[in-house]
Structures are given as structure tokens and as C-alpha cells.
């Protein structure tokens, strides 16, 4: 047995209006109000207890439509190559995605969210609450991201997403 190989089973599916990876905004912060839902396998419904009290949740998921792995690439916001681990690009060795989305409400095993930057039909690995006490930081450096002006970040980050495509 290989002790560096692990198998994951998806615990649900993420649904969104995003049908084409090339036009999805690159982060939830550029996806104002875009709605999506997460359908959790019903066997995990008990695990949602208490989650309704959180305004934001992290979704961990599989970039299932990312075919290649690139250790260095030009991230969407940069014209310079960066290492994959200095980026949020999907072409990572384990293709793990993480999005911080707004939780609107929960109905049984279905979570309704906003600000979703994830392709429709994406397999879900995990959900965790955003906890300000644990997750908020001060005196932050953001490496090459700090060199990108806000207006460029907004225009590139939103990509061609148009509300009427929903």
C-alpha cells in the first residue's frame, strides 16, 4: 500500500449558473450576488447542525475540469509567471479549490449561497464555517498581488461574466 495516496469521496455537488470555465469570475469577491446551491449527500445532513448561524462558509472542492498541472503559470491577474502555490489557479497537483461564499439559508441537505465562482456540477469535498476570530488577520503581505492595482484586479478578475448568462 502507498501511504502517500489518499482517496476522497465527494460529499455533494455544487450547482451554479457558471457553465463555461473561461468566463467565470476568478474569486467570490468578483461574483457579487451570483447565486448557487450545494446539494449535500443526504447521509451528511446531520453534519449541518449549527451551520445556519454563520454568514460565510468555505467550500472545498475538486477542480474536476482542470486537465493539466502547471507548476509555474501566469495567474489571471499577472503578466509574470508565478509558482502554482503562490496562486489560486486550478491547475494544481491535487486540484483542490477553496471558495469563501455567503450562506443565504439551508433547507434540509441543500445550502443556498451567493458570490459563487465555481463551475456548475463541481464535486464538493468539505464545508467549513468562516470564523472571524480564527481567520481574520492584520499586517498582511500579499506578495505579487500587492503589485496589481485594484482597477486592473477588478476588470480582469470579473472576466466576461454577464448576469444575463445565468
Interface with ligand SAM (CB under 6 A): 21, 24, 26-27, 63-66, 88-90, 97-99, 117-119, 122
Identify whether the C-beta of residue 64 lies closer than 8 Å to the C-beta of residue 71: no
CB of 61 to ligand SAM, least distance (A): 7
B/e letters for 59-91, b = 16+ CB within 10 Å, e = fewer, are bebbbeebeeebeebebebbeeebebeebbbbe
Which CB, 15 or 63, lies closer to ligand SAM? 63
Cβ contacts of 138-144, under 8 Å, gap ≥ 24: 143/86, 144/78, 144/80, 144/82, 144/86
Which CB, 106 or 158, lies closer to ligand SAM? 158
Which CB, 111 or 122, lies closer to ligand SAM? 122
Point out which residues pair with 98 in neighbouring strands.
Answer: 60
CB of 134 to ligand SAM, least distance (A): 18
Which CB, 97 or 106, lies closer to ligand SAM? 97
CB of 49 to ligand SAM, least distance (A): 26
Point out which residues pair with 129 in neighbouring strands.
Answer: 57
Which CB, 12 or 97, lies closer to ligand SAM? 97
CB of 80 to ligand SAM, least distance (A): 16
Count Cβ atoms within 10 A of the Cβ of residue 147 and give its class: 0-12 exposed, 13-18 middle, 19 or more buried.
exposed
Point out which residues pair with 113 in neighbouring strands.
Answer: 36, 103
CB of 9 to ligand SAM, least distance (A): 17
Amino acid at each position: 500500500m502507498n501511504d502517500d495516496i489518499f482517496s476522497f469521496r465527494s460529499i455533494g455537488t455544487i450547482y451554479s449558473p457558471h457553465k463555461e470555465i473561461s468566463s467565470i469570475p476568478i474569486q467570490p469577491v468578483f461574483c457579487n450576488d451570483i447565486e448557487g446551491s450545494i446539494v449535500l449527500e443526504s447521509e451528511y445532513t446531520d453534519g449541518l447542525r449549527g451551520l445556519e448561524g454563520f454568514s460565510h462558509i468555505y467550500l472545498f472542492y475538486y477542480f474536476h475540469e482542470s486537465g493539466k498541472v502547471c507548476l509555474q503559470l501566469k495567474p489571471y491577474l499577472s503578466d509574470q509567471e508565478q509558482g502554482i502555490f503562490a496562486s489560486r489557479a486550478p491547475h494544481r497537483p491535487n486540484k483542490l479549490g477553496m471558495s469563501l461564499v455567503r450562506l443565504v439559508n439551508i433547507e434540509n441537505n441543500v445550502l443556498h449561497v451567493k458570490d459563487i465562482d465555481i463551475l456548475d456540477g463541481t464535486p464538493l469535498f468539505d464545508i467549513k464555517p468562516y470564523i472571524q476570530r480564527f481567520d481574520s488577520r492584520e499586517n498582511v503581505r500579499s506578495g505579487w498581488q500587492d503589485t496589481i492595482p485594484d482597477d486592473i484586479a477588478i476588470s480582469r478578475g470579473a472576466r466576461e461574466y454577464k448576469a444575463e448568462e445565468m
